[in-house]
Chain A
Amino acid sequence: MAIRCVASRRTLAGLKETSSRLIGFRGIQTFTLPDLPYDYGALEPAISGEIMQIHHQKHHQTYVTNYNNALEQLDQAVSKGDASAVVKLQSAIKFNGAGHVNHSIFWKNLAPVKEGGGEPPKGSLGSAIDTHFGSLEGLVKKMSAEGAAVQGSGWVWLGLDKELKKLVVDTTANQDPLVTKGGSLVPLVGIDVWEHAYYLQYKNVRPEYLKNVWKVINWKYASEIYEKECN
Protein backbone atom coordinates (compact mmCIF):
# COMPACT_ATOMS: atom_id res chain seq x y z
CA MET A 1 0.00 0.00 0.00
CA ALA A 2 1.58 3.25 -1.14
CA ILE A 3 0.16 5.19 1.76
CA ARG A 4 2.37 3.41 4.29
CA CYS A 5 5.10 5.81 5.27
CA VAL A 6 8.70 4.88 4.84
CA ALA A 7 10.81 5.72 7.83
CA SER A 8 13.19 8.47 6.88
CA ARG A 9 16.00 9.84 8.95
CA ARG A 10 14.02 12.97 9.64
CA THR A 11 10.98 11.03 10.76
CA LEU A 12 13.10 8.94 13.07
CA ALA A 13 14.77 11.97 14.53
CA GLY A 14 11.38 13.49 15.19
CA LEU A 15 10.22 10.54 17.21
CA LYS A 16 9.50 11.54 20.76
CA GLU A 17 8.21 8.19 21.98
CA THR A 18 11.13 6.64 23.82
CA SER A 19 9.67 3.20 24.22
CA SER A 20 9.04 2.41 20.58
CA ARG A 21 10.92 2.34 17.36
CA LEU A 22 10.15 1.95 13.70
CA ILE A 23 11.37 -1.03 11.77
CA GLY A 24 11.32 -1.86 8.17
CA PHE A 25 9.73 -0.05 5.32
CA ARG A 26 6.21 -0.31 6.56
CA GLY A 27 6.70 1.82 9.64
CA ILE A 28 5.41 -0.81 12.03
CA GLN A 29 6.13 0.48 15.47
CA THR A 30 7.62 -1.99 17.85
CA PHE A 31 8.38 -1.51 21.48
CA THR A 32 11.15 -1.49 24.01
CA LEU A 33 11.12 -2.03 27.73
CA PRO A 34 10.61 1.31 29.48
CA ASP A 35 13.10 2.16 32.19
CA LEU A 36 11.89 2.24 35.78
CA PRO A 37 11.86 5.77 37.20
CA TYR A 38 13.59 4.44 40.37
CA ASP A 39 16.10 1.79 41.40
CA TYR A 40 15.02 -1.79 41.87
CA GLY A 41 15.55 -1.58 45.61
CA ALA A 42 13.82 1.78 46.05
CA LEU A 43 10.44 0.32 46.95
CA GLU A 44 11.71 -1.76 49.84
CA PRO A 45 10.50 -2.99 52.22
CA ALA A 46 7.07 -2.97 50.58
CA ILE A 47 8.31 -4.69 47.43
CA SER A 48 11.73 -6.29 47.39
CA GLY A 49 14.46 -5.33 44.94
CA GLU A 50 14.67 -8.96 43.84
CA ILE A 51 11.03 -8.96 42.81
CA MET A 52 11.28 -5.59 41.07
CA GLN A 53 14.27 -6.72 39.04
CA ILE A 54 12.77 -10.01 37.90
CA HIS A 55 9.37 -8.44 37.35
CA HIS A 56 10.82 -5.70 35.15
CA GLN A 57 13.76 -7.40 33.42
CA LYS A 58 12.16 -10.79 32.90
CA HIS A 59 8.37 -10.65 32.96
CA HIS A 60 7.81 -7.24 31.41
CA GLN A 61 10.67 -7.75 28.94
CA THR A 62 9.10 -11.04 27.84
CA TYR A 63 5.79 -9.30 27.15
CA VAL A 64 7.63 -6.68 25.08
CA THR A 65 9.62 -9.29 23.14
CA ASN A 66 6.59 -11.46 22.46
CA TYR A 67 4.46 -8.46 21.57
CA ASN A 68 7.03 -7.33 19.01
CA ASN A 69 7.21 -10.82 17.53
CA ALA A 70 3.44 -10.99 17.28
CA LEU A 71 3.30 -7.56 15.63
CA GLU A 72 5.90 -8.53 13.05
CA GLN A 73 4.03 -11.71 12.28
CA LEU A 74 0.80 -9.73 12.10
CA ASP A 75 2.36 -7.31 9.65
CA GLN A 76 3.38 -10.16 7.39
CA ALA A 77 0.00 -11.84 7.66
CA VAL A 78 -1.83 -8.60 6.87
CA SER A 79 0.29 -7.85 3.84
CA LYS A 80 -0.17 -11.40 2.58
CA GLY A 81 -3.90 -11.13 3.11
CA ASP A 82 -3.80 -14.20 5.34
CA ALA A 83 -6.98 -13.66 7.33
CA SER A 84 -6.78 -16.81 9.42
CA ALA A 85 -3.20 -16.06 10.43
CA VAL A 86 -4.30 -12.57 11.43
CA VAL A 87 -7.09 -13.95 13.58
CA LYS A 88 -4.81 -16.58 15.11
CA LEU A 89 -2.37 -13.90 16.24
CA GLN A 90 -4.99 -11.97 18.19
CA SER A 91 -4.55 -13.78 21.47
CA ALA A 92 -0.77 -13.34 21.43
CA ILE A 93 -1.24 -9.66 20.71
CA LYS A 94 -3.81 -9.29 23.46
CA PHE A 95 -1.77 -11.17 26.09
CA ASN A 96 1.54 -9.59 25.35
CA GLY A 97 0.46 -6.15 24.23
CA ALA A 98 -1.78 -5.73 27.24
CA GLY A 99 0.94 -7.17 29.45
CA HIS A 100 3.26 -4.45 28.19
CA VAL A 101 0.67 -1.70 28.61
CA ASN A 102 -0.41 -2.82 32.08
CA HIS A 103 3.11 -3.09 33.41
CA SER A 104 4.08 0.28 31.93
CA ILE A 105 1.24 1.80 33.94
CA PHE A 106 2.16 -0.22 37.03
CA TRP A 107 5.73 1.12 37.25
CA LYS A 108 4.29 4.65 37.23
CA ASN A 109 1.72 3.67 39.85
CA LEU A 110 4.59 2.98 42.25
CA ALA A 111 7.06 5.40 43.79
CA PRO A 112 9.66 5.27 46.53
CA VAL A 113 8.49 6.72 49.82
CA LYS A 114 10.99 9.56 49.54
CA GLU A 115 9.44 10.52 46.23
CA GLY A 116 5.90 10.59 47.55
CA GLY A 117 5.04 6.90 47.45
CA GLY A 118 2.17 6.25 49.82
CA GLU A 119 1.27 9.92 50.27
CA PRO A 120 -2.53 10.22 50.15
CA PRO A 121 -4.04 11.90 47.11
CA LYS A 122 -5.00 15.52 47.47
CA GLY A 123 -6.96 17.77 45.17
CA SER A 124 -9.81 16.60 43.02
CA LEU A 125 -8.91 12.89 43.11
CA GLY A 126 -8.73 12.95 46.90
CA SER A 127 -12.21 14.49 47.09
CA ALA A 128 -13.60 12.09 44.51
CA ILE A 129 -12.30 9.16 46.53
CA ASP A 130 -13.96 10.49 49.68
CA THR A 131 -17.20 11.01 47.77
CA HIS A 132 -17.28 7.56 46.19
CA PHE A 133 -15.71 5.42 48.89
CA GLY A 134 -16.16 7.43 52.06
CA SER A 135 -12.44 7.75 52.63
CA LEU A 136 -9.10 6.60 51.27
CA GLU A 137 -9.19 3.79 53.86
CA GLY A 138 -12.51 2.70 52.44
CA LEU A 139 -11.06 2.56 48.94
CA VAL A 140 -7.96 0.71 50.09
CA LYS A 141 -10.06 -1.84 51.96
CA LYS A 142 -12.24 -2.46 48.91
CA MET A 143 -9.38 -2.75 46.46
CA SER A 144 -7.39 -5.00 48.77
CA ALA A 145 -10.37 -7.31 49.28
CA GLU A 146 -11.12 -7.50 45.57
CA GLY A 147 -7.46 -8.00 44.72
CA ALA A 148 -7.19 -10.83 47.23
CA ALA A 149 -10.26 -12.49 45.76
CA VAL A 150 -8.97 -12.64 42.19
CA GLN A 151 -8.71 -16.32 41.33
CA GLY A 152 -5.68 -17.15 39.29
CA SER A 153 -3.86 -14.21 37.74
CA GLY A 154 -5.08 -10.68 37.22
CA TRP A 155 -5.18 -7.07 38.30
CA VAL A 156 -7.22 -4.90 40.62
CA TRP A 157 -7.92 -1.41 39.38
CA LEU A 158 -9.11 2.00 40.45
CA GLY A 159 -10.55 3.49 37.33
CA LEU A 160 -12.39 6.55 36.18
CA ASP A 161 -15.53 6.06 34.17
CA LYS A 162 -15.18 9.05 31.85
CA GLU A 163 -18.77 8.92 30.70
CA LEU A 164 -20.47 8.55 34.05
CA LYS A 165 -17.82 10.71 35.70
CA LYS A 166 -17.32 8.38 38.62
CA LEU A 167 -14.62 6.28 40.19
CA VAL A 168 -14.83 2.54 39.88
CA VAL A 169 -13.02 -0.42 41.45
CA ASP A 170 -12.82 -3.53 39.32
CA THR A 171 -10.63 -6.52 38.59
CA THR A 172 -9.51 -8.07 35.35
CA ALA A 173 -8.21 -11.56 34.62
CA ASN A 174 -4.75 -12.32 33.28
CA GLN A 175 -3.53 -9.25 31.35
CA ASP A 176 -6.95 -8.03 30.31
CA PRO A 177 -6.83 -4.24 30.38
CA LEU A 178 -9.42 -2.31 32.39
CA VAL A 179 -11.12 -1.17 29.22
CA THR A 180 -12.40 -4.74 28.73
CA LYS A 181 -14.69 -4.09 31.71
CA GLY A 182 -16.09 -0.89 30.20
CA GLY A 183 -15.21 1.11 27.15
CA SER A 184 -15.10 4.41 29.00
CA LEU A 185 -12.90 3.21 31.86
CA VAL A 186 -9.51 4.85 32.31
CA PRO A 187 -7.05 3.18 34.68
CA LEU A 188 -5.79 5.39 37.51
CA VAL A 189 -4.17 2.78 39.75
CA GLY A 190 -3.55 -0.83 38.83
CA ILE A 191 -2.13 -3.40 41.22
CA ASP A 192 -0.67 -6.55 39.73
CA VAL A 193 -1.91 -9.62 41.62
CA TRP A 194 -0.23 -12.23 39.46
CA GLU A 195 1.82 -14.39 41.81
CA HIS A 196 5.04 -13.21 40.18
CA ALA A 197 4.32 -9.74 41.57
CA TYR A 198 4.75 -10.87 45.18
CA TYR A 199 5.60 -14.52 45.59
CA LEU A 200 9.31 -14.36 46.37
CA GLN A 201 8.58 -12.03 49.28
CA TYR A 202 5.06 -12.74 50.45
CA LYS A 203 4.67 -16.34 49.23
CA ASN A 204 1.04 -17.42 49.38
CA VAL A 205 -0.02 -14.50 51.56
CA ARG A 206 -1.38 -12.19 48.89
CA PRO A 207 -3.35 -10.11 51.45
CA GLU A 208 -0.06 -9.15 53.13
CA TYR A 209 1.31 -7.90 49.79
CA LEU A 210 -1.88 -5.93 49.26
CA LYS A 211 -1.61 -4.45 52.71
CA ASN A 212 1.94 -3.25 52.09
CA VAL A 213 1.78 -2.13 48.48
CA TRP A 214 -0.23 0.96 49.45
CA LYS A 215 2.90 2.34 51.13
CA VAL A 216 4.44 2.84 47.70
CA ILE A 217 1.45 3.77 45.59
CA ASN A 218 2.12 6.94 43.61
CA TRP A 219 -1.05 8.97 44.05
CA LYS A 220 0.53 11.95 42.31
CA TYR A 221 0.53 10.10 39.01
CA ALA A 222 -3.04 8.88 39.54
CA SER A 223 -4.13 12.47 40.26
CA GLU A 224 -2.47 13.72 37.07
CA ILE A 225 -4.35 11.19 34.97
CA TYR A 226 -7.59 11.92 36.80
CA GLU A 227 -7.31 15.68 36.31
CA LYS A 228 -6.36 15.26 32.66
CA GLU A 229 -9.32 12.98 31.96
CA CYS A 230 -11.79 15.13 33.84
CA ASN A 231 -11.09 18.21 31.75
Chain B
Amino acid sequence: MYCKKIMIVQTIRRTATCTTQLNYQKAEPSIKLKTHTDSTGVCSPHLSLQLELQSQSMAASTAVTANYVLKPPPYALDALEPHMSKQTLEFHWGKHHRAYVDNLKKQVLGTELEGKPLDHIINKTYNNGDLLPAFNNAAQAWNHEFFWESMKPNGGGKPSGELLALLERDFTSYEKFYEEFNAAAATQFGAGWAWLAYANDKLKVVKTPNAVNPLVLGSFPLLTIDVWEHAYYLDFQNRRPDYIKTFMNNLVSWEAVSARLEAAKTASSSSA
Protein backbone atom coordinates (compact mmCIF):
# COMPACT_ATOMS: atom_id res chain seq x y z
CA MET B 1 0.00 0.00 0.00
CA TYR B 2 2.68 2.43 1.02
CA CYS B 3 4.86 1.99 -2.03
CA LYS B 4 1.95 2.94 -4.25
CA LYS B 5 1.38 6.07 -2.30
CA ILE B 6 4.99 6.92 -2.70
CA MET B 7 4.62 6.44 -6.44
CA ILE B 8 1.98 9.10 -6.59
CA VAL B 9 4.25 11.60 -5.01
CA GLN B 10 7.13 10.61 -7.26
CA THR B 11 4.98 11.06 -10.35
CA ILE B 12 4.19 14.59 -9.36
CA ARG B 13 7.82 15.18 -8.50
CA ARG B 14 9.01 14.04 -11.89
CA THR B 15 6.78 16.46 -13.67
CA ALA B 16 8.15 19.38 -11.78
CA THR B 17 11.57 20.83 -11.32
CA CYS B 18 10.71 21.73 -7.77
CA THR B 19 10.95 19.05 -5.18
CA THR B 20 8.71 20.82 -2.77
CA GLN B 21 5.58 19.51 -4.43
CA LEU B 22 4.83 17.64 -1.25
CA ASN B 23 3.81 20.91 0.23
CA TYR B 24 1.00 21.58 -2.17
CA GLN B 25 -1.88 20.64 -0.06
CA LYS B 26 -4.02 22.60 2.32
CA ALA B 27 -2.18 23.90 5.29
CA GLU B 28 -3.37 21.19 7.63
CA PRO B 29 -1.08 18.89 9.51
CA SER B 30 -3.09 15.69 9.34
CA ILE B 31 -4.24 14.55 5.95
CA LYS B 32 -5.37 11.30 4.38
CA LEU B 33 -4.36 9.66 1.17
CA LYS B 34 -6.93 8.29 -1.22
CA THR B 35 -6.09 5.70 -3.80
CA HIS B 36 -7.99 3.69 -6.30
CA THR B 37 -8.20 0.01 -5.51
CA ASP B 38 -9.04 -2.21 -8.41
CA SER B 39 -10.80 -5.52 -8.31
CA THR B 40 -7.67 -7.49 -7.66
CA GLY B 41 -7.01 -5.42 -4.61
CA VAL B 42 -4.06 -3.66 -6.14
CA CYS B 43 -3.95 -0.11 -5.14
CA SER B 44 -2.86 2.10 -7.96
CA PRO B 45 -2.31 5.76 -8.32
CA HIS B 46 -4.14 8.08 -10.60
CA LEU B 47 -3.34 11.70 -10.77
CA SER B 48 -6.80 13.01 -10.32
CA LEU B 49 -6.97 11.75 -6.82
CA GLN B 50 -6.45 13.92 -3.90
CA LEU B 51 -2.82 14.31 -3.25
CA GLU B 52 -2.76 14.08 0.47
CA LEU B 53 -0.07 12.77 2.65
CA GLN B 54 -0.46 10.11 5.24
CA SER B 55 0.68 11.95 8.29
CA GLN B 56 3.49 9.79 9.58
CA SER B 57 4.97 6.85 7.78
CA MET B 58 4.65 7.70 4.14
CA ALA B 59 5.59 11.26 4.59
CA ALA B 60 8.38 10.17 6.80
CA SER B 61 9.70 7.68 4.33
CA THR B 62 9.79 10.09 1.42
CA ALA B 63 10.07 13.47 2.99
CA VAL B 64 12.22 13.49 6.08
CA THR B 65 15.64 12.94 4.67
CA ALA B 66 14.85 15.24 1.75
CA ASN B 67 13.49 17.95 3.98
CA TYR B 68 16.24 17.91 6.53
CA VAL B 69 18.96 17.98 3.97
CA LEU B 70 20.71 21.02 2.59
CA LYS B 71 19.85 20.44 -1.03
CA PRO B 72 22.15 22.26 -3.45
CA PRO B 73 20.61 24.66 -5.95
CA PRO B 74 19.85 23.09 -9.34
CA TYR B 75 22.85 24.94 -10.83
CA ALA B 76 26.47 25.64 -9.91
CA LEU B 77 27.10 28.37 -7.38
CA ASP B 78 28.62 30.61 -10.05
CA ALA B 79 25.95 29.89 -12.65
CA LEU B 80 23.83 32.94 -11.86
CA GLU B 81 26.68 35.40 -12.43
CA PRO B 82 26.83 38.27 -13.11
CA HIS B 83 23.31 38.76 -11.74
CA MET B 84 23.87 36.97 -8.45
CA SER B 85 27.49 36.41 -7.55
CA LYS B 86 29.14 33.13 -6.62
CA GLN B 87 30.16 34.79 -3.37
CA THR B 88 26.52 35.49 -2.55
CA LEU B 89 25.56 31.88 -3.25
CA GLU B 90 28.48 30.62 -1.18
CA PHE B 91 27.32 32.59 1.82
CA HIS B 92 23.58 32.56 1.27
CA TRP B 93 23.32 28.85 0.48
CA GLY B 94 26.53 27.62 2.09
CA LYS B 95 26.15 29.47 5.40
CA HIS B 96 22.68 30.90 5.92
CA HIS B 97 20.60 28.10 4.41
CA ARG B 98 22.92 25.47 5.86
CA ALA B 99 22.53 26.98 9.33
CA TYR B 100 18.74 26.89 9.13
CA VAL B 101 18.84 23.19 8.24
CA ASP B 102 21.46 22.27 10.85
CA ASN B 103 19.81 24.30 13.58
CA LEU B 104 16.41 22.87 12.77
CA LYS B 105 17.76 19.35 13.16
CA LYS B 106 19.17 20.24 16.56
CA GLN B 107 16.04 22.04 17.59
CA VAL B 108 13.59 19.21 16.88
CA LEU B 109 15.81 16.47 18.30
CA GLY B 110 14.04 14.74 21.14
CA THR B 111 10.82 16.65 20.62
CA GLU B 112 7.50 15.56 19.13
CA LEU B 113 8.49 17.36 15.94
CA GLU B 114 11.45 15.07 15.33
CA GLY B 115 11.04 13.08 12.15
CA LYS B 116 8.00 14.99 11.00
CA PRO B 117 7.90 16.40 7.46
CA LEU B 118 9.02 19.95 7.08
CA ASP B 119 5.64 21.32 6.09
CA HIS B 120 4.09 19.69 9.14
CA ILE B 121 6.64 21.42 11.36
CA ILE B 122 6.05 24.73 9.62
CA ASN B 123 2.29 24.57 10.11
CA LYS B 124 2.52 23.35 13.68
CA THR B 125 5.06 25.94 14.77
CA TYR B 126 3.34 28.79 12.93
CA ASN B 127 0.70 28.23 15.54
CA ASN B 128 -1.74 30.70 14.00
CA GLY B 129 0.80 33.49 14.12
CA ASP B 130 1.94 32.91 17.70
CA LEU B 131 5.23 31.48 16.50
CA LEU B 132 6.85 28.59 18.29
CA PRO B 133 10.67 28.38 18.46
CA ALA B 134 11.29 26.00 15.55
CA PHE B 135 9.25 28.03 13.08
CA ASN B 136 12.05 30.31 11.97
CA ASN B 137 14.48 27.51 11.09
CA ALA B 138 11.83 25.25 9.57
CA ALA B 139 10.22 27.90 7.40
CA GLN B 140 13.55 29.38 6.35
CA ALA B 141 14.86 25.95 5.35
CA TRP B 142 11.77 25.51 3.18
CA ASN B 143 11.84 29.07 1.83
CA HIS B 144 15.45 28.90 0.74
CA GLU B 145 15.12 25.62 -1.12
CA PHE B 146 12.09 27.12 -2.85
CA PHE B 147 14.06 30.28 -3.64
CA TRP B 148 17.00 28.50 -5.34
CA GLU B 149 14.53 26.59 -7.47
CA SER B 150 12.74 29.81 -8.35
CA MET B 151 15.82 30.91 -10.28
CA LYS B 152 17.86 29.64 -13.17
CA PRO B 153 20.78 30.85 -15.29
CA ASN B 154 19.56 33.05 -18.17
CA GLY B 155 16.18 33.30 -16.57
CA GLY B 156 13.85 36.20 -16.09
CA GLY B 157 11.83 38.19 -18.58
CA LYS B 158 8.28 37.54 -19.64
CA PRO B 159 6.75 34.07 -19.46
CA SER B 160 4.60 32.65 -22.23
CA GLY B 161 1.70 30.29 -22.72
CA GLU B 162 -0.77 29.52 -19.99
CA LEU B 163 1.23 31.25 -17.31
CA LEU B 164 1.29 34.51 -19.23
CA ALA B 165 -2.42 34.18 -19.90
CA LEU B 166 -3.13 33.76 -16.20
CA LEU B 167 -0.89 36.68 -15.25
CA GLU B 168 -2.77 38.80 -17.78
CA ARG B 169 -6.08 37.55 -16.44
CA ASP B 170 -5.30 38.26 -12.79
CA PHE B 171 -3.11 41.36 -13.09
CA THR B 172 -4.37 42.75 -16.47
CA SER B 173 -0.85 42.55 -17.92
CA TYR B 174 2.59 41.12 -17.26
CA GLU B 175 3.78 44.69 -16.69
CA LYS B 176 1.18 45.21 -13.97
CA PHE B 177 2.20 41.95 -12.32
CA TYR B 178 5.85 43.05 -12.51
CA GLU B 179 4.93 46.38 -10.91
CA GLU B 180 3.01 44.72 -8.11
CA PHE B 181 5.65 42.08 -7.41
CA ASN B 182 8.35 44.73 -7.49
CA ALA B 183 6.41 46.96 -5.08
CA ALA B 184 5.80 44.09 -2.67
CA ALA B 185 9.47 43.16 -2.65
CA ALA B 186 10.59 46.77 -2.30
CA THR B 187 8.21 47.67 0.51
CA GLN B 188 8.54 44.60 2.71
CA PHE B 189 10.09 46.44 5.62
CA GLY B 190 12.97 44.70 7.31
CA ALA B 191 13.51 41.04 6.51
CA GLY B 192 11.06 38.99 4.48
CA TRP B 193 9.96 37.65 1.12
CA ALA B 194 7.74 38.57 -1.79
CA TRP B 195 5.72 35.84 -3.51
CA LEU B 196 3.57 35.01 -6.44
CA ALA B 197 0.98 32.67 -4.98
CA TYR B 198 -2.09 30.76 -6.05
CA ALA B 199 -5.33 30.45 -4.10
CA ASN B 200 -8.98 30.04 -5.03
CA ASP B 201 -8.06 29.72 -8.67
CA LYS B 202 -6.39 33.12 -8.66
CA LEU B 203 -2.81 34.36 -8.84
CA LYS B 204 -1.80 37.01 -6.37
CA VAL B 205 1.24 38.81 -5.05
CA VAL B 206 1.95 38.51 -1.35
CA LYS B 207 4.70 39.87 0.88
CA THR B 208 5.64 38.27 4.18
CA PRO B 209 7.90 39.24 7.08
CA ASN B 210 10.90 37.26 8.29
CA ALA B 211 10.23 33.54 7.75
CA VAL B 212 6.51 33.58 7.07
CA ASN B 213 5.42 32.02 3.78
CA PRO B 214 2.11 31.58 1.92
CA LEU B 215 1.77 27.94 3.06
CA VAL B 216 0.71 29.13 6.47
CA LEU B 217 -1.60 31.70 4.92
CA GLY B 218 -3.49 29.04 2.98
CA SER B 219 -2.11 29.59 -0.50
CA PHE B 220 0.31 27.76 -2.82
CA PRO B 221 3.61 29.53 -3.35
CA LEU B 222 4.69 29.71 -7.00
CA LEU B 223 7.64 32.12 -7.01
CA THR B 224 9.63 33.91 -4.38
CA ILE B 225 12.32 36.53 -3.95
CA ASP B 226 14.29 36.70 -0.71
CA VAL B 227 14.50 40.31 0.50
CA TRP B 228 16.44 39.69 3.70
CA GLU B 229 19.48 41.95 3.36
CA HIS B 230 21.82 38.94 3.27
CA ALA B 231 20.23 37.99 -0.06
CA TYR B 232 21.52 41.06 -1.86
CA TYR B 233 23.92 42.99 0.31
CA LEU B 234 27.20 41.67 -1.12
CA ASP B 235 26.08 42.40 -4.70
CA PHE B 236 23.84 45.43 -4.28
CA GLN B 237 24.41 46.80 -0.74
CA ASN B 238 21.39 48.98 0.09
CA ARG B 239 20.10 48.99 -3.50
CA ARG B 240 17.24 46.56 -3.08
CA PRO B 241 15.32 47.96 -6.08
CA ASP B 242 18.26 47.10 -8.38
CA TYR B 243 18.37 43.58 -6.94
CA ILE B 244 14.64 43.08 -7.54
CA LYS B 245 14.95 44.34 -11.11
CA THR B 246 17.86 42.01 -11.78
CA PHE B 247 15.92 39.08 -10.33
CA MET B 248 12.87 39.80 -12.49
CA ASN B 249 14.81 40.46 -15.67
CA ASN B 250 17.53 37.83 -15.40
CA LEU B 251 16.86 35.12 -12.84
CA VAL B 252 13.24 33.99 -12.56
CA SER B 253 12.64 30.40 -13.66
CA TRP B 254 9.19 30.51 -15.24
CA GLU B 255 9.49 26.77 -15.87
CA ALA B 256 9.56 26.19 -12.15
CA VAL B 257 6.64 28.55 -11.66
CA SER B 258 4.58 26.74 -14.32
CA ALA B 259 5.29 23.34 -12.84
CA ARG B 260 4.35 24.55 -9.39
CA LEU B 261 1.16 26.07 -10.76
CA GLU B 262 0.20 22.73 -12.34
CA ALA B 263 0.79 20.92 -9.08
CA ALA B 264 -1.12 23.56 -7.16
CA LYS B 265 -4.10 23.29 -9.50
CA THR B 266 -4.10 19.51 -9.20
CA ALA B 267 -3.85 19.64 -5.43
CA SER B 268 -6.47 22.28 -4.95
CA SER B 269 -9.04 20.93 -7.42
CA SER B 270 -8.88 17.50 -5.87
CA SER B 271 -9.00 18.65 -2.30
CA ALA B 272 -12.16 20.64 -2.75
Contact = CB atoms under 8 A, between A and B. Distances in A.
State whether these chains interact: yes
A87 to B, nearest CB: 17
Interface string A171-204: 0011100000000000000000011100110011
B191 A204 contact: no
Most chain B C-beta atoms within 10 Å of own C-beta, residue among A91, A174, A204: A204
A91 B95 CA distance: 33
A199 B238 contact: no
B238 A152 contact: no
Given A152-B191, A204-B96, A62 B210 contact: no
Interface of B: 91, 95-96, 99, 136, 189-192, 209-211, 228-230, 233-234, 237-238
A196 B136 CA distance: 20
A97 to B, nearest CB: 13
A151 B233 contact: no
Contacts of A199: 229-230, 233-234
B257 to A, nearest CB: 26
Contact of A151 (B95, B189, B211, B234): B211
Contacts of B210: 151-152
Contacts of B211: 151-152
A174 B209 CA distance: 10
Contact of A62 (B190, B192, B234, B238): B238
B99 A152 contact: no
Contact of B190 (A58, A173, A203, A204): A173
A203 B95 contact: yes
Contacts of B96: 204
Nearest to B94: A204
Contact of B233 (A62, A174, A200): A200
